[in-house]
Amino acid sequence: MKPADALNIDDLARVARRRLPKGLYDFVARGAEDEITLRENRASLDRVLLRQRVGVDVSRRDISTTVFGQKLAMPLGIAVTGLAGLLHHDGERKLARAAAAAGVPFTIGSSNFTAQAALLPIAGPLLWRQVYPLAEDRLFEHQVGLSRDLGITVLQVTMDSPVIGNREYIRRSGWSPGIIHAGTVRDMLGAPYWLFGTLLRYVFAGGLPEIGDMPAGERRFWGGTHAFATASPRFDWDALSALRRRWDGVLVAKGVSTAEDARRAAACGVDGIIVSNHGGRSLDGAVGSFAALPEVVDAVAPKVTVIVDGGFRRGSEVLKAIAMGAGMVMVGRATLLALAAFGEPGVARALAILREEIDRSLALAGARTLAELGRDRLQWQDGRALA
């Protein structure tokens, strides 16, 4: 199969599943504990349906939008997904290049192999940055300071994971980043595309990758302390206000999913909120992202830009979020699995599929621009009105 043969995101995900070692595929695709929230992310999208309007001249359409003063080709961006460089050789550069070519933002995190400084020339202002409130203040300062010095425009701070979610599948598979069991090695040997194309390519090119944005001497990934991904359980609203005082650019709270917290975040002076439950990887049993979206929009939009992620696989679903009041949607697994399937052409294909779907669904829904979509275009699955 070639990237062009993929008709939808699920086609790309199936190729990724065949090509990745099982434990690595699980690391990406699965969710915490009983995966209730992972399923709810999808189910919450299915519970709201589009009210199709007809009789509109839709020959001229525009799916571009402006978020944080940046012009985006469509209302979509690539969410932060740590360790993308493990899924395909040089994966972070490939994601950044495909995003830049498609005119959408790419978010780089703290657990990245490629340093932000190397990604900035590729993505420019469309390189958005995520940080965990790291347990070691010194490292948090280092991460934020690096982004400030580089002139990164948008900083997201992840609020939904003060401790790491309970990902039992990782403990079973032995694919806890940096720790390798005998079973992990067997798993790797069964995935030649990944073994030769990614892991051994790193090895032959001079060694296994390190975490690019850590201070010198603390960059080790395999067998290291993982301080780059150890979140602080202390990070509270005061800490967010303090970060606001130190960060002049756009500040976004990621992982807020209630009206109460949205108001708190807004009071701390954030410019944006990402309604997110970490793709169902943190608190299992949490509300699906799309179900949480309306209360956050009603609490803080339009003063604060509300973005949503979690389970998005289709352009029509992106339009539901826009109609609900989101400024844009982020995707994590959709583009990450496309990367694992085919590298950069896979990510480009995923973004092209989503762009085509957004455009086609907009026309079919009887609208020419995203601004025409409001809650009057939605209804509950059981027929109740939403607006």
276 is a site residue for ligand FMN (CB under 6 A): yes
Residue number with the smallest Cβ distance to ligand FMN: 332
Site string for ligand FMN, 62-91 (x = CB under 6 A): -----------------xxxx---------
Chain-centroid distance, C-alpha 100: 15
Radius of gyration of the chain (CA): 20
Among 280, 329, 325, smallest CA distance to 299 is for: 325
339 is a site residue for ligand FMN (CB under 6 A): no
Contacts of 341 (CB under 8 A, 6+ apart): 3, 6, 12, 13, 15, 16, 19
Site string for ligand FMN, 130-169 (x = CB under 6 A): x---------------------------x-----------
Binding segment for ligand FMN (CB under 6 A), chosen from 183-191, 206-214, 261-269, 332-340, is 332-340
Q: How many residues bind ligand FMN (CB under 6 A)?
A: 24
Cβ count within 10 A of residue 263? 15
Alpha carbons 3 and 141: distance in angstroms, whole number: 41
- Minimum distance of ligand FMN from residue 354's CB (angstroms): 11
Residue (227 or 364) nearer to ligand FMN, CB: 227
* List 89, 142, 181, 278, catalytic entry: 278
Could you give the angle at the alpha carbon of 301 between the alpha carbons of 300 and 307, nearest 5°?
A: 100
Active-site residue, 181 included: no
314 is a site residue for ligand FMN (CB under 6 A): no
With contact defined as beta carbons under 8 Å apart, do 320 and 290 qualify? yes
Question: Phi-psi region for residue 278, left (φ > 0), alpha (ψ -120 to 50) or beta?
Answer: left
Single out the residue of 19, 94, 167, 278 in contact with ligand FMN (rule: CB under 6 A).
278
Per CB under 6 A, residues contacting ligand FMN are: 28, 41, 79-82, 109, 111, 130, 158, 254, 276, 278-279, 281, 309-312, 331-334, 336
> What residues are annotated to the active site?
278
